[in-house]
A and B are shown apart, each in its own frame.
Chain A
Amino acid sequence: GAGVSQTPSNKVTEKGKYVELRCDPISGHTALYWYRQSLGQGPEFLIYFQGTGAADDSGLPNDRFFAVRPEGSVSTLKIQRTERGDSAVYLCASSMTGRDTQYFGPGTRLTVL
């Protein structure tokens, strides 16, 4: 079956703009995760959904970052008033039930000019 998909694959925006990043998890996976990876580093956790609810949002860096998963499948990560420091690859992963293998999408490379 299809893996995790993310759109867009690349996003270039200007400082201060609003962006939305989309994640389509593997069908039937109830758990969905967002991570952020800076150059030369390992991915860092942002937020985790179990179904429609955010079970853990402790990794969101500040209130400019927000994520939703209204129907328990597709998720959108929203970043307001983007800053140059937000530039990174944003990775989405899903797992069957949580505390299991997490399958990652190809990522969205965000560049804030």
Chain B
Amino acid sequence: SQQGEEDPQALSIQEGENATMNCSYKTSINNLQWYRQNSGRGLVHLILIRSNEREKHSGRLRVTLDTSKKSSSLLITASRAADTASYFCATDRGNTDKLIFGTGTRLQVFP
């Protein structure tokens, strides 16, 4: 079963605009990770944020985590057509290392 949900399910923007995707989850977590997936194949790891962290940056990516609300957001600044992909959040919790994925946000960036 899915741990949580991303919203929106789909997002269309123009190049240069910022894209914000949100992720909600149901139970306490150890870590939350964001992945990108092109064309339904392999997932590319973007950022891992631990439960005691509130914000992380990597290049044009900014991730926040609010454990009190059980939610995270991924911001992509100055988007490019190459950012077009599906984006998933995934959590691991308790004493298990398995990742539980959300349903994903499909991002379309128009040139």
Seen from chain A, the residues whose Cβ lies within 8 Å of a Cβ on chain B are 31, 33, 35, 37, 39, 41-45, 48, 50, 55-56, 58-59, 89, 91, 93, 95, 98-107, 109
In the bound complex, residues from chain A placing their C-beta under 8 Å from that of B92 are: 99
* Known contacts A59-B98, A106-B42; A101/B48 CB under 8 A: yes
Check A42–B98 contact: CB distance below 8 A: no
Which chain A residues border B103 with CB–CB below 8 Å? 41-42
Select from chain B the residue with minimum beta-carbon distance to A59. Answer: B98
**Residues of chain B with a CB closer than 8 A to A55's CB:** 97
Q: Which of B40, B43, B90, B104 has the most CB of A within 10 A?
A: B43
Main secondary structure of the interface of A (DSSP, over half): strand
| Inter-chain contacts of B43 with A (CB < 8 A) | 43, 91, 93, 104
B45 within 8 A of A: yes
Whether, in the assembled complex, B35 has its beta carbon less than 8 Å from a beta carbon of chain A, the answer is yes
CB distance from A41 to the nearest CB of B (A): 7
Query: Which residues of chain A have C-beta atoms less than 8 A from B99's C-beta?
Result: 33, 35, 43, 45, 93, 102
Contact (Cβ within 8 A) A104 B97: no
Contacts of A89 in B (CB 8 A): 40-41
Residues of B within 8 Å of A104, CB to CB, are 35, 42-45
Whether B102 contacts A42 by the Cβ 8 Å rule is yes
Complex contacts, B102 vs chain A, CB 8 Å: 42
Contact B100 A45 (CB under 8 A): yes
Instruction: Verify if B68 is at the interface (C-beta below 8 Å from A).
Output: no
A102 to B104, CA, bound (A): 17
Residue in B30, B45, B101 whose CB lies within 8 Å of A101? B45
**Is B58 an interface position by the 8 A CB rule?**
no
CB distance from B65 to the nearest CB of A (A): 16
